[in-house]
Amino acid sequence: MRLLSTLFLVFTLAGCQSAYYATMEQVGIHKRDIMADRVEAASEAQQEASEQFTSALEALSTLTNFDGGELESMYNTINDQYEDSEKAVENVRERIKGIEDVSDALFAEWQEELSLYSSTKLRRESERKLKATEQSYKLMLSAMNKAESKMTPVLDTLRDNALYLKHNLNAAAIGALKGEFSGLEQDINRAIKDMQLAIAESDRFLSTLKN
């Protein structure tokens, strides 16, 4: 499925979303397939962000228990954790945007094609499935956006800690950051919890989409 991501990037840069979907259709890859691929990629991105936040928390825990050594090295570690966390969050945001884009195209196409049925029974069944899929999608997207919103406070605190340590490489700085640790730990735990809930909603949506 990495080919899908590569092609998506190419067509996004060219501003040709409709052309991208048309090209995929020609090789047998439909919007439903692209949607499933992007939802799975978003779940993976959220899991990676959860792991990265945990890693950052562990690094800060080590810092607050600092009892001597090279502070410059500790700063580099904390700054690296912040930058890695920032990249992980941006990846989640990009994945969510990709899902929103294909959902608009998928649901619009599905709605339009309802008028093509000659069988009333099949049209009603397809319409029922469309409504169920849209409802599941809304729940999933809401969960994803809620989790994403919890990431911002974490990034802000990680950035603040890295900046403070950069300009205060001394034992007093470590003491000051200890007071920030408890709040950051709570923020990270809340973000991870919401990301796991979003992943669960993604699994439910994929089940609805595929069945």
pLDDT digits (tens, 9 = 90+) for 107-137: 999 999 999 999 999 999 999 999 999 999 9
Furthest-apart CA pair in the chain: how many Å?
78
Radius of gyration of the chain (CA): 22
Residue 97 and residue 38: Cα distance in Å, rounded?
Answer: 10
pLDDT band at 22 (very low <50, low <70, confident <90, very high): confident
Tracing tokens 């990249």 back to the chain, one arrives at 87
Higher pLDDT, 17 or 26: 26
**Where do the H-state alpha helices sit in the chain?**
2-14, 17-26, 31-64, 71-113, 120-167, 171-210
Conformation bin of residue 15: beta by default, left when phi > 0, alpha when psi is -120 to 50: left
> Tens of pLDDT along 54-74?
999 999 888 877 766 677 888
